[in-house]
Structures are given as C-alpha cells and as structure tokens.
Amino acid sequence: MQSFMDRAHRLANRAENKLTSMSEQISKAKVEADLVGYRRTVSKSGLYKYPGMTRKRIDEAVSTMESEGYQFNKIAAGKGERYAMTLENITAIYEHVEHPKYRDKRDSGFVIFVESLKGGVSKSVSTVTLAQAMRAHPDLLMHDLRILVVDLDPQASATMFLRHEHSIGQVDDTTAQAMLQQADKETLLKEFVFESSVPGVHVMPSSIDDRFLAASWNELCAEYLPEQNPNAVLKENVIDLLRDEFDFILVDTGPHLDAFLMNSLYAADLLLTPVPPAQVDFHSTLKYLSRLPGLYEELEESGLEVQTMAHLGYMAKIQKNKRDHAECHSLAKEVFGGDMLDMSLPRLDGFERVGESYDTVISADPLSYPGSETALKNAREAAEDFARCVFDRIEFIRTDNEQQ
Ligand SMILES: Nc1ncnc2c1ncn2[C@@H]1O[C@H](COP(=O)(O)OP(=O)(O)OP(=O)(O)O)[C@@H](O)[C@H]1O
Ligand SMILES: [Mg+2]
C-alpha cells in the first residue's frame, strides 16, 4: 500500500507542476496577445492638462526632443500615425523641461510598512497597488518616482502580483537571503531586485522556503551575522543600502509575529494599517493595535531606537451602503483620530480578479482582464485616488517632521 508520505509527495509534485503550468500559460497568453508590459498610453493632447504642462511646453518639448533623435511611441491612426505617449515618454518630457524630480527634493528613500497581524485584510493587494499607482498616477508622474516592494512574506503574494515568474519553484534571490548574505549595493541591485511590469516599480522577491529562515532567524543571525542585532538586519543590510536608489520602499510581511515583522517595524518610516470593516476582523485588528507598543518596547530593549514617524489607518475592502461597514469606519476613526486616512480602498471586483492574470489594477490591460472593462476602470481609479491620498499625507508628514 502506498504510504501517506508517498501520497503527500505526489500531491506536492502535482501542486508544483500546476503552479508552473498556470504561470507559463498566463505568460504565453500575454506574449501571444502582445500584452506584455505596461501598455497604458496617453495622446499628445491628453498631456496638455498634466501638472506643470501647457500645450506650448509639450509641443516645443516634443519637437526639440524629436529633432535631437528621441523617438516617441506612435500608433496607426487613419492613414497616418498619432502619438501614444508611454510612461517613459512622459517622464522624459518632464525631464526635458527640467521639472524637478522627487529625488531632487528628498534624497532618502521612505519606508512604508503596510502591516497587521490580521490575515487576509488586503496588506499585499494594498502594497502592490500603492506601489504601482504612486508610480503611474498622472498627477505624480512629474516626480518620476522610483519604487521598490520588499516582499518578506513566504506566501510571496506581492511577488506573484509584481513578477509571478519569481513566485514559484526554487527561488534563491529573495529578500531574506539578501539580508543574510550581507551583499553590497551593486550585488543587491543586480541579483535581488527585479523590475515589475510597470517601469520604475521593482520587487525583491520572497519564497516559500523563507519561512524556514524566519523560524530560525536568531540562530542564523548568531552564526552568520554575530555583530548585528537580529531585528536590524533588514534595515542595515538592505534598506539603508538602497535608500538613495528608491524614493519609496514598501514592505509586505505575512500575518505572523516573527523576526520578519520585527525587522520591518524597525525599518519603517511609516506604518499603514488596513482596517477591515467586518466586526470580527475589526476586533482582531484592534487587538493587534493594542499590542503594538509591546513590540516597540521589545525593539528598544534590544538596543534599537525606533525612528518611525507616523502610524496611519485606512479602511480596506469596505463596501458602500453597508451599515456595519459604516459603523466600523466610525469606530476606526475614533481609534486612529486624525491618523485615519480620508480615502479607503473599497472592495471591488477589479482588485480580486486581476490576480487571475497575475496583475494589479494598474498593470492590468482591459484585454487580458477577465472581467468587464468598467470594473477594471473603477478599481484603477479607486487605487489612484488612494495612492494620491497616501502620497499627499506622506508629504505632509515629512515636511512637518523636517520643520520640528
Ligand atoms: N480592495 C479589495 N477588493 C476586493 N478584494 C480584495 C481587495 N483587497 C484584497 N482583496 C482580496 O482579499 C484577499 C486577501 O487579500 P491580500 O492577500 O492582499 O490580504 P493580506 O492581508 O495580504 O493577506 P495575508 O495576511 O494572508 O498576507 C485576496 O483574495 C484579494 O484578492
Ligand atoms: Mg499578504
């Protein structure tokens, strides 16, 4: 008779093969339909109303750049062609007109940790959506933001959304490995940082095997990093080395109280907690919030000085016209006070279904999105509004902090 272990191995093999074939199928379908990469474009006249732009500025910039050999993306229109400005084309125009970039104003990357010990509350979806929406938002393109998502959750959800090829099989180039290997900046950028489908948004992957590293983190640190505080490794070995390469670094962990969570808390400039609108989930979130000072005390007792500037809350997966959701929203406002964001991340089909093509609502193309174009558009607009709100609040916090 087949032993239970044999059957477990066969099940594991079938699961692994299925994952690989699903990922390959989606990649192949995107190549065949010519849907690889970020494909949203804007007409030339569409750029006239972008911040800091006028018709005259755009026309002059485009004609000078073309006379210097720059090639803008164009598509067939009638018998001729028309401009279809890509994200890179638009940031190149801003650069040409010498619009200051975000990095000219703020020279150090800002770390956002979307965190909660409550599972399934949209930490990963919020993280990847925020990363790509801040980069691609029409009002924020002038900043030419460089964004990195650091995946520290062995479930590798953020990696799946941003670079699904890296979320299955044997993956060695993970954040956790980078933390342990004490790689220099060049090695980190070359071997551990990968571009997502939206240009300018990168990911440091995670892998299921990282859970073993998390489980024996203190022993591993004692053996390989004896000089370092085990809770400071993410900050010291990864984030501090990449701070001048990225404007925003977003960290995603699983819902576990482990070394990865402690490292992320210590590295964070800003905590962002998704508050779920259902009563039971809301209770768990409150319990987590009530325990947070204890975690900070643990960090400080181990000799680390916490630098986090602010802790914001926002409603995630909230539905309009639901009374219990509205009630939780009011309660969350009482808990967070002025640190509750005005903007929520609503529960919308778009956020859920983009996962089917390993996309975010920003990177998804209406042609590969399995639902309706309107559903995708609604979710994309909600994501952009949310990203704008987070960006504006961070600007406020950073400016306020500098003035103190
Ligand atoms: N705004 C949203 N609207 C609809 N569905 C959403 C939304 N945000 C997340 N989801 C769905 O909810 C589920 C959980 O989301 P997600 O994986 O982001 O949560 P999480 O907090 O990261 O979970 P975990 O604790 O396991 O890491 C997923 O199926 C996701 O597609
Ligand atoms: Mg997650």
pLDDT tens for the chain, 404 residues: list them: 678 888 888 888 888 888 888 888 887 877 777 777 888 999 999 999 999 999 999 999 999 999 999 999 999 999 999 999 999 999 999 999 999 999 999 989 999 999 999 999 999 999 999 999 999 999 999 999 999 999 999 999 999 999 887 767 677 899 999 999 999 999 999 999 999 999 999 999 999 889 899 999 999 999 999 999 999 999 999 999 999 999 999 999 999 999 999 999 999 999 999 999 988 888 888 999 999 999 999 999 999 999 999 999 999 999 988 999 999 999 999 999 999 999 999 999 999 999 888 899 999 988 888 889 999 999 999 999 999 999 999 999 999 998 88
Measured in Å, residue 4 CA sits from the centre of ligand 2 at 31
**Token pair 């306020």 in the structure block, residue:** 400
Ligand 1: does its nearest atom lie under 6 Å from the Cβ of 348? yes
**Nearest ligand for residue 117 CA:** 1
Query: Right CATH number for 45-96 from 2.170.130.10, 3.40.50.300, 1.10.300.10, 1.10.1660.30?
Result: 1.10.1660.30
C-alpha distance from residue 170 to each of 70, 111, 174, 208 (Å): 41, 28, 10, 9
d(C-alpha 34, C-alpha 45), whole Å: 26
Please give the number of the atom of ligand 1 that sits closest to the Cα of 347.
3
Please give the number of the atom of ligand 1 that sits closest to the Cα of 382.
1
Measured in Å, residue 122 CA sits from the centre of ligand 1 at 4
Domain boundaries, the chain: 45-96, 104-403
**Nearest ligand for residue 355 CA:** 1
Ligand 1 atom 14 nearest Cα: 120
Q: In this predicted model, what pLDDT tens digit does every residue of 14-23 receive, in sequence order?
A: 888 888 888 8
Q: What residues form DSSP beta bridges with 345?
A: 316
95 CA to centre of own chain: 25
Measured in Å, residue 100 CA sits from the centre of ligand 2 at 35
Measured in Å, residue 163 CA sits from the centre of ligand 2 at 15
Measured in Å, residue 254 CA sits from the centre of ligand 2 at 5
CB 73 within 8 A of CB 86: yes
C-alpha distance from residue 88 to each of 53, 200, 266 (Å): 16, 9, 34
Measured in Å, residue 317 CA sits from the centre of ligand 1 at 8
Please give the number of the atom of ligand 1 that sits closest to the Cα of 346.
1
Ligand 1 atom 31 nearest Cα: 352
The DSSP secondary-structure symbol of 100 reads P
Of 313, 308, 282, the closest CA to residue 293 belongs to 308
Question: What pTM did the predictor assign?
Answer: 0.94
Q: In this predicted model, what pLDDT tens digit does every residue of 56-106 receive, in sequence order?
A: 999 999 999 999 999 999 999 999 999 999 999 999 999 999 999 999 999
* The one-letter amino acid at 154: P
To which H or E segment does residue 282 belong?
helix 279-301
DSSP labels, 305-360: PP---EEEEEEEEE-TT-HHHHHHHHHHHHHHGGGB-S--EE--HHHHHGGGGT--
Measured in Å, residue 252 CA sits from the centre of ligand 1 at 12
Strand order in the sheet with 147-151: 194-195, 201-204, 147-151, 248-252, 110-114, 270-275, 310-318, 345-346
Q: How many C-beta atoms lie closer than 10 Å to residue 75's C-beta? A: 10
The topology (CATH level 3) of 104-403 is: Rossmann fold (3.40.50)
User: Two tokens at 218?
Assistant: 């203190």
* Contacts (Cβ under 8 Å, ≥6 apart) of 158: 124, 127, 128, 149, 151, 203, 206, 252
Mutate to test the pocket of ligand 1, among 113, 121, 125, 325 (most ligand atoms within 8 A of CB): 125
SS3 174: coil
Please give the number of the atom of ligand 1 that sits closest to the Cα of 153.
27
